[in-house]
Structures are given as structure tokens and as C-alpha cells.
Amino acid sequence: MNPLQSHKHQQSRVRKTKTDAVDGYVLATMCATERDLPAAAHLHSQHVLLRLQQGQLQALDKQLQRLTRSVSAYTETYAQLGLTPGVSLTRLQQAVAELRAVKRQLQKELETLLTHAAADRNDLAKLQELPGFSPLVAGLVATAFNRQAKSERSWVAYAGLDVSVRESGTWRGRGKLTKRGNSFLRKRLYCAAWGAVMNYTGVRAYYDRLKAAGRNHVEALCIIARKLLRIAYAILVKGKEYDHHIAFA
């Protein structure tokens, strides 16, 4: 269920009271009045474990990025001042190295879980043919999305790669990514797009055309990530084969 729906009902109350009883009443009211609630989810314990592993890896990644920037800033300051780093800085550098090792181990464990959770191993092999799709990205795409979706737009929206529309009368605002979907998956798709640009000539040529048309670096990569996801939808849902001659023509 989209948490924005429950938030809307919570904000509609005059008194800003939050207790278990009030929350239960708000959810019951929502279930009785909303017309388009999703069907009940029946998740296997393996799928729950997948989400927990993704959340743990995402949290570790954020902490590692902050700590790495902090250590780099301290190291640079010591060098500029001509001071000898203390024991604490050395231990921080060791902590960063250990966290990176833990991150690699978590990624391996997540790849193993995704491989077992995927319904069809042939799907994983097909997805790994896509530019920039590592085993981790292929496993995420193979297990994260609803195969009954009517169009690839729902997949793009779930990943938060759709663009918001801002219009009023004759005014047209600048659209931005909604970023309302699975943030871990969105980041992996963005990295896959960057890897595809760096290692595949056809994708690089497509990227260069986007830049020549006025797109900046981030916009071009988001467009390529969205395109890769639509191609994955065509492979998994429509049963099409990937053809690099026409994918980024």
C-alpha cells in the first residue's frame, strides 16, 4: 500500500493525535472509503528477507559514503598543514576498509538470495545480456516487479524514474524525477546506466546524442536507466529478445 494514502487520511484529522488506537481507526476508515486499494500481499519469507537485505545494504552504503568523505577531508587537511596523522585517523581508514569488505559480502549474499528467488533462471541470463546489468541488477529486476503490469510505465514509476508533470494553464514547469519508488533499485539502475555508457559503444553513442541535444550528465543517465528498464519489461513480460542493433539506435 502506498503510504501517501494513509498519510492523507492522517492529515485530514482536525486533532493531531497519534496513538495506536487512532492509527487503527485511521487505517480502518481508509479501507472503508478508498476505492482503489491494492490486493492483499502474500509474501514468502524469502521475499521479506530480500527487502531486509536491500535495506541493510542501502543503509551501510550511505554510512560508508559519509565516513569516506569525512576521512578524505581529514587526510587532506593533515597533508596541507604538514602534520603527521594520528592513530585515530589510521584506525578510521581501517574501519572504512572493513566496511567496504562487509559491503562486498552483503552484495554477494544478496546476489545469492536473488538467484534463488528468481522464478526462471533463463530470465536472469537474458537480463544479464543488457548493457550494464550485473547479476545483482538482473536479480533485482527479475524479482522486484509485477509481471502482470499492463505497461512498462508502472515499472518505471515503481523505480521512481518517472517524471512529475507541473502545469497550470499556459504555464509549464520543469519536471523532476518523482523518486517515490524503490530507492535501492533506482540507484542500481542508475549505476547500470553509467556502466553501460562506459563500456558499450552503442550506449555511449546514444549518451553523446542526448548530451548534444542539451541534456546534462545526470539527465542522460536517467533516460538510459529508464530505457534499460523498459527493455527489461519487454524481455520478461512480452517475451522479446534483446537486440543491441535497435535498442539504442
Within a domain: 29: no
188 shares a domain with 232? yes
C-alpha cell at 88: 585515530
Pure H helices in the chain: 3-11, 20-33, 45-81, 87-117, 121-127, 135-144, 152-158, 183-199, 201-212, 217-236, 244-247
Q: Give the C-alpha separation, 68 to 95, whole Å.
A: 10
13 in any annotated domain: no
Does one domain contain both 240 and 147? yes
What span, in angstroms and rounded, lies between the C-alpha atoms of 115 and 192?
18
Closest C-alpha to 220, from 194, 182, 189, 181? 194
6 located within any domain: no
Residues 141 and 242 placed together within one structural domain of the fold: yes
Do 53 and 142 have their domain in common? no
Average pLDDT in the 86-102 region? Answer: 91
Same domain, 146 and 229: yes
Q: Are residues 100 and 147 in the same domain?
A: no
218, 153: one domain:
yes
Q: Are residues 139 and 243 in the same domain?
A: yes
**The cell 521479506 sits on which residue?**
48
Domain holding 72, by residue range, is: 45-117
When pLDDT is averaged across residues 54-60 and rounded to a whole number, the result is 90
- Looking at the structure, tell me whether residues 223 and 161 fall in a common domain: yes
- What confidence tens digit (pLDDT) does each residue in 188-233 have? 999 999 999 999 999 999 999 999 999 999 999 999 999 999 999 9
Place of cell 541488477: 137
By the 8 A CB rule, do 55 and 184 touch? yes
Chosen domain end from 90, 117, 144: 117
CA atoms within 13 A on the CB side of 213: 10
Euclidean distance between CA atoms 214 and 222, whole angstroms: 14
Residue range 133-167, pLDDT digits in tens:
998 899 899 888 888 888 899 999 989 998 888 87
**How far is residue 186 CA from its own chain's centroid?**
2
Residue 129, pLDDT score = 92
Q: Tell me, what DSSP letter sits at residue 119?
A: S
Q: What is the CATH number of the domain that holds 74?
A: 1.10.287
Print burial letters for 115-142: b (CB count within 10 Å at least 16), e (below 16): bebbeeeebbebbeebbbbbbbbbbbbb
| Cα–Cα distance for residue pair 62/38, rounded to 1 Å | 31
User: pTM for this structure?
Assistant: 0.77
Mark whether 106 and 140 lie in a shared domain.
no
**Same domain membership, residue 141 and residue 113:** no
| CB distance 162 to 153 below 8 Å | yes
Looking at residue 177, its pLDDT comes to 87
Between CA 119 and CA 192 the distance in angstroms is: 22
CB distance 133 to 185 below 8 Å = no
Contact assessment for residue 139 and residue 54, using Cβ atoms and an 8 Å cutoff: no
Query: Could you tell me if residue 229 is inside a domain?
Result: yes
* Structure confidence at residue 46 as a pLDDT band (50, 70, 90): confident
Q: How many CB atoms lie within 10 A of CB 247?
A: 18
Number of domains in the chain: 2
120 has pLDDT over 70: no
